[in-house]
Structure 1
């Protein structure tokens, strides 16, 4: 099961999380987030420590961002993925994919996050499948676009019949490993954790993460 830790902001903490053997680290480029990662210090640190990310993908999280901002941030932070966490359309995703296919800019794979509540229709995801490497299924009805610590009803995953893999997200905490291990869905790629493993916004509790990740199958 793949592991993504999102909402990182501090170089020392990032390095400690990387030491846990995660697959993805997430940086949030949404100015209204408490975990906003845009900073000259972080940009410089990432550029100078690329060796630390040899086996870990860097994911930039964006919310209804201008295309130029996404392109420039992918270049500046040497991102491997962009995670679109707003109301981005299938056409927006296709535009990004096309732009990266026809020019020499650093490209990134695309991930679309969906806010799932009891009324969510998983058929919504079909139009994004051709553009996205995988999806993130997060908690719906939250104005903060993630990082709320609130769960959704994971039983609803039975309704997802698509072929695109997904990361499970939304309120996952230290006591949830056993429940995640028994989810039986062939497209479950892994988990995406954030706010419930924090000492403070953007600063992860490395010890709690270490125990939780070790308990995942």
Structure 2
């Protein structure tokens, strides 16, 4: 039975982080990109009291390696998500620093799949999001049928507009490379503030569907 992991991204409120940390999720994402409405801003490392079962993901967009290194150390990040136009060399450096690397790509019908193979040696996962100029957080879903063109074996996170209305469809994927679902704006009462009760219901739905499948 395939077990799909759960990542909740765009956290920045200490009490909201603490409440989410009580749920059975696998990854919690923090955005270190100032152009995002979910930028962590004044969040301090002590504001993230997570159990070892939840991995801390730092999301960066075209950042310098030095800055990424500083945040890895300060926030004890275990996973780095590169959500911009990062070079192969930067991916290599980040991965060589001892963290897991997720390389994100915005997907639409015109996406050039031929660019992905070069990244394979330097990433652990891909993340496929809806293509936009704002580097994610759009709340919009891309046509998942486009993923039929993905022909590599690297597992991936599915992102972009996933919410209670379509989580069932995501879980019905027969693609063994689908590793995790990335939940964000469809579970918010405001940017960076998650509806914990709604997430609790969806987490239970995901667990129930996987047990019964």
Q: TM (normalized to structure 1)?
A: 0.90
Pairing of 1:18-167 with structure 2 (within 5 A): 18-39=21-42, 41-46=43-48, 49=49, 52-98=50-96, 100=97, 107-140=98-131, 142-167=132-157
Structure 2 CA distance for aligned equivalents of residues 42 and 88 of structure 1: 26
Structure 2 CA distance for aligned equivalents of residues 18 and 124 of structure 1: 36
Pairing of 1:170-185 with structure 2 (within 5 A): 170-185=160-175
Structure 2 CA distance for aligned equivalents of residues 127 and 192 of structure 1: 24
User: Do structure 1's residue 195 and structure 2's residue 185 form an aligned pair?
Assistant: yes
**Counterpart contact for 1:139–1:146, Cα < 8 Å:** yes
**Counterpart contact for 1:117–1:139, Cα < 8 Å:** yes
- Aligned with 1:83: secondary structure? strand
Structure 2 portions without partners, runs of 5+: none
TM-fit CA distance, 1:79: 0.2
- Aligned with 1:26: secondary structure? strand
- The equivalent of 2:19 in structure 1 is 16
**Counterpart contact for 1:10–1:42, Cα < 8 Å:** no
Structure 1 CA distance for aligned equivalents of residues 121 and 134 of structure 2: 27
Structure 1 portions without partners, runs of 5+: 101-106
Structure 1 CA distance for aligned equivalents of residues 14 and 25 of structure 2: 16
What root-mean-square deviation, in Å, do the aligned CA atoms of Structure 1 and Structure 2 show?
1.2
Runs of 4+ in 1 over 6 A off after TM superposition: none
In the TM superposition, what whole-angstrom CA distance separates every residue of 1:120-173 from its partner, at most 9, and x where no partner exists? Answer: 122322111111111110001x11101110110001111111111001000111
